[in-house]
Amino acid sequence: MASSRWFAWGLMSLIVSNSLACHDTTEGQLPRLEATLAGDGNEPPATKSDFATARDPVPEIRPVPFDKQRAKKYLQELCDLGPRISGTEGMKKQQKILETHFRNLGASVQRQEFQVRQWSRKEQTPMVNLIVSWHPQRQRRILIASHYDTRPIADQEPNRAHWTKPFLSANDGTSGVAFLMELGHHMKDLKTEFGIDFVFFDGEEYVFETSPFGGRDKYFFGSEHFAAEYVKSRATRTYRYDAGVLLDLFAGQDAQLKIELYSWDAARPLVEQIWGVAKTLGAKSFVFQKGYEVLDDHIALIRAGIPTVDIIDFDYPHWHRLSDTPDKVSAEQMREVSDVLTVWLQKIR
């Protein structure tokens, strides 16, 4: 299962590495994390449990009360729609659910619409990135993203006869959507200096070819369009993204969240901040060890000058299989990731 994934991603590693070396760095500086203790290179910097000094005491920063059962309920409701492939009725139903959900919670919701032509398709496909903004007036912003399309083929099934079948993609994309739906309940009360944008990328894996060595079908339509528009608007927009977090395949049972190497190379301070908070909180799924390079939506963001960390489990056993169903997703894992990210969001300056 994993070998073809890493082989296909590995074919592009040198090309991506060279392009990342030239990525745009003119937007601004990374957010700082206050009151950290230096790491030794083998462990992340430890954060003080009370985030205070004797002279300048401040209250302990606590995670939001993330309702893990409600998050799991959201995930089940989305999976009940069936596959949500880009441009299909299932995707359109999901878009309506998300737009209504976040507007009801008081967020600003923007549809970023565009058309794509996939190599293996005859017609153009309409796609929509959803941008959900909290405190839209704030100029310094943090981006938290997930793709929300489902892959049209289960090309990691052991039986090749099943490769052309769509699947629910419960952890691969849907877990990030459900996670952000629940997190939305807490955003107005989150004590952070930054504006926060949830971005749902369309077309992350709108791929129909089944060759284990890759083909001509393209990935990452949504993130590449979003990044291009962000760069294009530099002269006129009044905000910037200081940092980004991508959530992908992060909520499986017994997930191990090691460090993705493009994230390490392009946004090492963010990795150290987030994994440092995880260490302080005792979040055991965050493992401060280097994993692999992964081609994912964060690449386009990094190229656009947004330092971004991909939080991903490299070894999810149901990746691109019909068995990627809601029962494989851990509500407790979603809560643990929420604890880490919401403390980090409150702690950065």
- Which long-range contacts does 212-219 make (Cβ < 8 Å, 24+ apart)? 212/4, 212/7, 212/8, 212/155, 213/4, 213/7, 213/8, 213/11, 214/8, 214/11, 215/119, 215/120, 216/119, 216/120, 217/118, 217/119, 217/120, 218/118, 218/119, 219/295
Q: What was the pLDDT predicted at 211?
A: 72
Q: What are phi and psi of 77, to 5 degrees?
A: -65, -40
Higher pLDDT, residue 45 or 18? 45
Cα gap 138→23, rounded to integer Å: 25
Task: Place 30 in a pLDDT band, splitting at 50, 70 and 90.
Answer: confident
What integer best gives the mean pLDDT of the chain? Answer: 89
What are the tokens at 84?
């949500």
The pLDDT, as a whole number, for residue 11 is: 38
pLDDT one-digit tens code per residue, 141-167: 999 999 999 999 999 999 999 999 999
Of 77-81, 126-130, 174-178, 207-211, which gets the smallest average pLDDT? 207-211
DSSP helix/strand/coil, 262: helix
Exposed/middle/buried for 14, CB within 10 Å: 0-12, 13-18, 19+? exposed
Query: Amino acid identity, residue 10?
Result: G
pLDDT 10s digits, 47-66:
543 332 223 344 689 999 99
Task: Inform me whether the pLDDT recorded for 2 exceeds 50.
Answer: no
How much is the CA Rg of the chain, to the nearest whole Å? 19
Among 3.40.630.10, 2.60.260.20, 3.40.50.970, 2.30.42.10, what is the CATH number of 2-347? Answer: 3.40.630.10
3-state DSSP assignment of residue 238:
coil
Q: What is the pLDDT of residues 103-114, one digit of tens each?
A: 999 999 999 999
pLDDT of res. 10: 46
Residue reference for tokens 């760095």: 25
pLDDT in tens, 171-210: 999 999 999 999 999 999 999 999 999 999 999 999 998 7
DSSP string covering 113-132 = EEEE--TT-SS-EEEEEEEE
pTM of the model: 0.89
